């Protein structure tokens, strides 16, 4: 028997098809059956989306799910649950697990575990090099066949330019995007926060913006050399954005993502050596945060991604310099984006949906991010005005390391539908 779901009376925003207006969405057997005003489907379950926005399922192309190996901080199941609660129907998980996802064995484990336990789609990202050690290329082709959608050595970027060049050449032949966490490890060594007036005042060692910029420049040149698709992870500086903007104008195949914390916070927000403000790249200057907002508004930034990086409370309850880098982000991303970009009028709603859907889908070549008939029924329904407060203690993630605890939001996720199934419902809460 076929299962049918009718989403009525919502404002459907689907940048892939150019639709933005009142319409109903009919879901049948896990796929979009029709999108048009006043649909009738007497046997279908009905979601009343009056006053809500109905969009293609949001994709977070940069998360850390910590499984296998670091399950006390997060699991595929809990991370996917946090994603569903945050309005995401797909996440791409970085390979820095234990063991590193550098082989089809680990990739298959993640795919299989996700299929059984995750509420939403989980797409693994394979490592560029074995153990992300920056030397030997990982089993890139085999990982792709097992389900990897891109390659990256994320937190341990490939410093050897020759290795990076070979990785790009090889990845290109498999149609894989190379994602780089751009950080010159020599320039950033020992740093705990952005290098600037605040780091000087706090006596914390700085990570200069240039540590990011020089690697963005290198990667763009290598992408030009190899023709590989390059994606810059969590771009955070004005100079890096300028480099990407210019490269793109010249036809280089480069895309980039930005995180909500890099446009919502600055280094000056770090108070009392609270490690919930510690991540890489670090919170930058006010000018950089403004440049990230501009980059999103002018289309230089293709995707908003969270870099959701769970760490247990005890790992974050230490001296600032001893704490690991990273914060959670899946449940606050939409609220922060609405707050800083949509409610302020910097971008249109359709543009916001784009950076959560077609932007990441195109950067990775994922067949997702649209409500076109026949597409997988991944749907994010969200509110523009619901008044709510994020309580980290109620978070679905196993970890609570967030600087946004008790922040008040206007608008946020309402119902998350993955593969035609309602996986999260905030209504009535």
Partner 1 sequence: MRPSGLLGIEELSREEIQALLDRGRYYQPLQHESVKKLDVLHGRTIVNLFFEPSTRTRTSFQIAAKRLGADTISISAQGSSLSKGESLVDTLNTLAAMRPEAIVMRHSASGAPHFLARFLPTPIINAGDGTHEHPTQALLDALTILDYRSSLSGLRVAIIGDIAHSRVARSNVHLLAKFGVDLVLCGPAPLLPSELSTLAPGITLTTRMEEAVEGADVIMMLRVQLERQHETAFPKSEYFQFYGLRLEHVRLAHRDAIVMHPGPINRGREIASEVADFPRSVILNQVENGVAMRMAVLEQVVAQSADAYQQMARL
Alpha-carbon 309 to chain mean position = 11
- Quick one: which segment of 120-128, 154-162, 165-173, 268-276 binds partner 1 (CB under 8 A)? 268-276
Which one of the spans 217-225, 255-263, 270-278, 379-387 is the region binding partner 1 (CB under 8 A)? Answer: 270-278
The C-alpha angle 21, 27, 31, rounded to 5 degrees, equals 110
- Please identify, among the stretches 30-38, 131-139, 149-157, 320-328, the one whose residues bind partner 1 according to the rule CB under 8 A: 320-328
Catalytic pick among 154, 184, 213, 307? 307
Map the footprint of partner 1 across residues 5-34, applying CB under 8 A. none
Question: Which residues, at least 6 apart from 82, have a Cβ–Cβ distance to it below 8 Å?
Answer: 308, 328, 330, 331, 395, 396, 397
- φ, ψ for residue 127 (rounded to 5)? -75, 155
Give backbone dihedrals phi and psi of 57, rounded to 5 degrees, phi first. -55, 135
Cβ 269 to partner 1 shortest distance, Å = 15
Q: Does 317 bind partner 1 (CB under 8 A)?
A: yes
Query: How is residue 396 written in tokens?
Result: 């679905």
Applying the rule CB under 8 A, the residues between 119 and 148 that interact with partner 1 are none
As a 3-state breakdown, the chain gives helix, strand, coil percent values, each rounded to 5, of 35, 25, 40
Enter the tokens of residue 284.
């930058």
Question: For 109-146, b where at least 16 C-beta lie within 10 A, e where not — what string?
Answer: bbbebbeeebbbbbbbbbbbbebbebeebbbbbbbbeb
CB of 177 or CB of 275, closer to partner 1: 275
Count Cα neighbours of 17 within 13 Å in the Cβ-side half-sphere.
19
Helix or strand (DSSP H, E) at 61? strand 58-63
Handedness of CA 325, 331, 333, 336 (dihedral sign): negative
Site map (CB under 8 A) of partner 1, residues 64-103, x = contact: ----------------------------------------
**CB 153 to partner 1: min, Å:** 23
How many residues at the interface with partner 1, by CB under 8 A?
23
Stretch in the footprint of partner 1 (CB under 8 A) among 3-11, 105-113, 267-275, 364-372: 267-275
213 among known catalytic residues: no
Residues of this chain, 178-217, that bind partner 1 according to CB under 8 A: 189-190, 195-197, 199-206
301 CB-side CA count, 13 A = 32
**Closest separation in Å from C-beta 293 to partner 1:** 24
> How near is the Cβ of 388 to partner 1 at its closest, in Å?
26
Q: Which is nearer to partner 1, 276 or 370 (CB)?
A: 276
CB 398 within 8 A of CB 73: yes
Given the complex with partner 1, which of 45 and 197 has the nearer CB atom? 197
Catalytic residue numbers, as ranges? 307
Q: Which residues bind partner 1 (CB under 8 A)?
A: 189-190, 195-197, 199-206, 272-274, 314, 317-322
């Amino acid at each position: 028997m076929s299962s049918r779901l009718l989403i009525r009376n919502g404002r459907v925003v689907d940048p892939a098809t150019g639709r933005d207006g009142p319409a109903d969405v009919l879901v049948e057997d896990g796929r979009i059956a029709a999108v048009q005003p006043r649909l009738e489907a007497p046997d279908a379950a009905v979601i009343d989306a009056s006053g809500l926005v109905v969009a293609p399922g949001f994709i977070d192309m940069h998360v850390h799910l910590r499984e296998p190996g670091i399950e006390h901080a997060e699991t595929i199941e809990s991370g996917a649950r946090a994603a569903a609660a945050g309005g995401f129907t797909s996440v791409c998980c970085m390979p820095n697990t234990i063991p590193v996802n550098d082989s089809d064995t680990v990739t298959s484990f993640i795919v299989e575990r996700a299929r059984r336990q995750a509420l939403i789609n989980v797409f693994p990202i394979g490592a560029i090099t074995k153990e992300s050690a920056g030397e030997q290329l990982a089993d890139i082709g085999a990982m792709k066949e097992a389900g990897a959608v891109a390659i990256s050595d994320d937190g341990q970027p490939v410093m050897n330019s020759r290795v990076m060049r070979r990785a790009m050449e090889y990845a290109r032949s498999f149609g894989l995007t190379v994602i780089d966490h751009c950080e010159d490890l020599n320039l950033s060594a020992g740093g705990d926060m952005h290098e600037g007036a605040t780091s000087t005042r706090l006596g914390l060692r700085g990570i200069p913006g240039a540590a990011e910029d020089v690697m963005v420049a290198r990667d763009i040149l290598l992408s030009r050399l190899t023709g590989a698709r390059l994606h810059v992870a969590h771009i955070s500086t004005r100079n890096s954005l300028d480099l990407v903007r210019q490269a793109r104008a010249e036809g280089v195949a480069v895309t980039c993502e930005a995180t909500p914390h890099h446009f919502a916070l600055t280094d000056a927000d770090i108070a009392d050596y609270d490690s919930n403000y510690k991540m890489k790249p670090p919170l930058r200057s006010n000018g950089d945060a403004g440049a990230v907002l501009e980059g999103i508004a002018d289309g230089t930034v293709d995707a908003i991604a969270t870099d959701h990086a769970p760490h247990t409370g005890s790992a974050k309850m230490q001296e600032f310099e001893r704490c690991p880098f990273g914060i959670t982000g899946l449940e606050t991303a939409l609220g922060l984006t609405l707050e800083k970009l949509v409610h302020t009028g910097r971008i249109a709603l359709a543009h916001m949906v784009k950076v959560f859907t077609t932007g990441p889908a195109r950067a990775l070549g994922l067949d997702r991010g649209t409500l076109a008939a026949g597409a997988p029924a991944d749907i994010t329904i969200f509110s523009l005005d619901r008044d709510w407060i994020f309580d980290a203690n109620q978070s679905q993630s196993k970890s609570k390391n967030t600087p946004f605890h008790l922040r008040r939001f206007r608008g946020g996720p309402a119902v998350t539908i993955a593969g035609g199934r309602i996986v999260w419902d905030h209504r009535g809460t």
